[in-house]
Amino acid sequence: MALVDDVKTELASIVDEPATVKQAQAATMMRFGGGLRVVQKHIIVECRFDNLEAAKWLQQTIRTVYQHDALLLKSKITTPQGVVDRFIVRVMRSGGALALQSGLLDRHNRRPVVGLPTDIVSGNIAQIKGAWRGAFLAQGSLSDPGKAGKLEIACPTRETAMALEGAARRLGVTAKIENVRETSFHIRIRDSDSIERMLLLMGATRTSREWSGKRVDGESRGKANRLANFDDANMRRSAKAAVEASEKIVHAFEVLGDDIPQNLRDAGQLRLDHRDASLEQLGQLADPPVSKDAIAGRIRRLLQLADRTVKKREAEAKKQAEGEAKASDDSAAAPKTAPAEKAAAAETKVAASSEA
């Protein structure tokens, strides 16, 4: 079983959420899993899933939360990977009522919503987590550890992708919309730390730990391979830049001591603690997370503050040295004046005696 199946099975086992959260998750599953269609002027809700437990969760929630009967069917489809099972949840007789209750039909004009229901988009954080959980159960995929990190959800419309993007932002995770084809939109999270955070927020605690552990092992092997082939010019330049940046930050800490704004100190310490991380990764590791431009700006201001402090101290030292040199010259010139005056006085006395 692929790890993504483990994630979906774990998410589908979450059953102790409040009714509003279950409604947010169920509505999103229906929206992303297929949604509404009209058969002989009757609205039918029909959703397809690649995970049996996800389909069972939706069927049970429709029965217990919305009080409608739902069928669970199984079909087989042919894909490039071979014949696979798909699980269908279908609501026939009360499809229209369910669509209104879930918000998939606008309550004012009775038209299908193009994005997600307003109650979900403007809901609380628990509902936002439920919406992401539902979208992942319906159309989510996760890269295997050791490969380039990617958590991805196929979205039925651009509006649904935008809704998920905004929901992720409310959760403190950066997700981006990618237009795969002209009418196909995907929401993607590529940063490994952000993927782990989203898995935890959705509720996949166990599989998040498993994915993270395998990812770290893969990254360690990759790092060993990169070190073994360190002749690569780009890596050598990157390593040199990382070393230089760390050395400058250490020097800045030594120069400034305790006189450093806390946000600049935190940014510098993040760079020292994670010397191989990119600026985007450092931004995600910050508390709270910030953009890569923000973390780069803080490190730059830290180094500039240290440079100004060094220049100020050098100017003060130079000024002090000049003052001490001038004082030394004045003290050295003072003893020479007295003998000259004495000699002049003696000459005056001699001249006076001669005249007498």
Q: What's the pLDDT tens digit per position in 277-334? A: 888 888 888 888 889 889 889 889 989 988 998 898 888 888 888 888 787 777 776 6
Contacts of 351 (CB under 8 A, 6+ apart): none
Task: Give dist(CA 222, CA 218) in Å, integer.
Answer: 6
Q: For 153-183, how does the pLDDT look when each residue is reduced to its tens digit (9 = 90+)?
A: 999 999 999 999 999 999 999 999 998 776 7
Phi, psi of 351 (to 5 degrees): -65, -40
HEC string of 1-25 equals CCHHHHHHHHHHCCCCCCHHHHHHH
| pLDDT of 258 over the 80 cut | yes
SS3 40: coil
Residue 92 sits at the vertex; the CA angle it makes with 202 and 19, to the nearest 5 degrees, is: 35
Q: Is pLDDT above 70 for 342?
A: no
Model-level pTM greater than 0.85? Answer: no
pLDDT of residue 108: 84
Which residues fall within 8 angstroms of residue 85, CB to CB, at 6 or more apart? 50, 52, 74, 75, 76
Rounded Cα distance between 197 and 214, Å, is 15
Superfamily of domain covering 1-203: Homing endonucleases (3.10.28.10)
Give the residue with greater pLDDT, 65 vs 237.
Answer: 65
Assign 350 to helix, strand or coil.
helix
Containing 153, the helix (H) or strand (E) segment is: strand 151-155
Domain ranges across the chain: 1-203, 234-322
Cα–Cα distance measured from residue 305 to residue 265, given in angstroms and rounded to the nearest whole number: 11
Listing DSSP states for 269-315 in one string gives HHHHH-TT--HHHHHHHSSS---HHHHHHHHHHHHHHHHHHHHHHHH
Q: In terms of C-beta density within 10 A (0-12 exposed, 13-18 middle, 19 or more buried), how is residue 259 classed?
A: exposed
> What does the alpha-carbon distance between residue 261 and residue 318 come to, in Å, rounded to a whole number?
28
- Phi then psi for residue 48, to 5 deg, are -120, 140
Residue 224 pLDDT greater than 50, yes or no? no
Residue among 137, 130, 136, 34 nearest 91 (CA): 34
Structure tokens at 42: 């009757």
Quick one: pLDDT band at residue 152, thresholds 50, 70, 90? very high
In the chain, what percentage of residues exceed pLDDT 70?
85
